[in-house]
Amino acid sequence: MGKKLDRVYHAIIEGASKGLYGDELCRYVIDVYPKASSKRIVRASLLALTDPDVTDRNVLSVVYALAIKHRMISLGADEDQHEDDEEGPSTASVAAKKKKKLETSAADIPSSHT
């Protein structure tokens, strides 16, 4: 493991072992190692999840959540994406639009009854 990744890894484990999670853990990791990027945090978190020496269920859960959060950040996804989806068109209206489109495209197919 590289020196930078090793520092981020140890900061994550240390912070999670102290009971930190979520934004508190992120701030702790960045305070310990200011050059920690989302990519490094995700990689270090995955290393922690695969480390056989890390056996505390709570630590593993916190590390898992941290990895997911920073992976989504690196993809450019918002945390509140679920709320935005709820405000979008309802499933019934989407289904109705697809049904109408299917009927329209089916009308363009020539009939085999001649």
Under DSSP, the state recorded for 18 is: T
Q: Which of 17, 18, 11 is nearest to 45 (CA)?
A: 11
SS3 category, 30: helix
Residue 85 has what pLDDT?
47
pLDDT at residue 78 in the model: 58
Residue range 96-110, pLDDT digits in tens: 665 565 555 555 555
* Token representation of residue 90: 């309802």
Global pTM reads 0.63
The H-or-E segment that residue 14 falls in is helix 3-17
Collapsing DSSP states into helix, strand and coil, what is residue 57? helix
Instruction: Give the pLDDT score at 83.
Output: 47
- Residue where the block lists tokens 């992120």: 26
pLDDT at 42 over 70: yes
- Two tokens at 112? 């085999």
Residue ranges in 18-110 assigned as alpha helix (H): 22-32, 38-50, 57-75, 81-87, 91-107
Overall average pLDDT of the 48-64 stretch: 92
DSSP class of residue 55? Answer: -
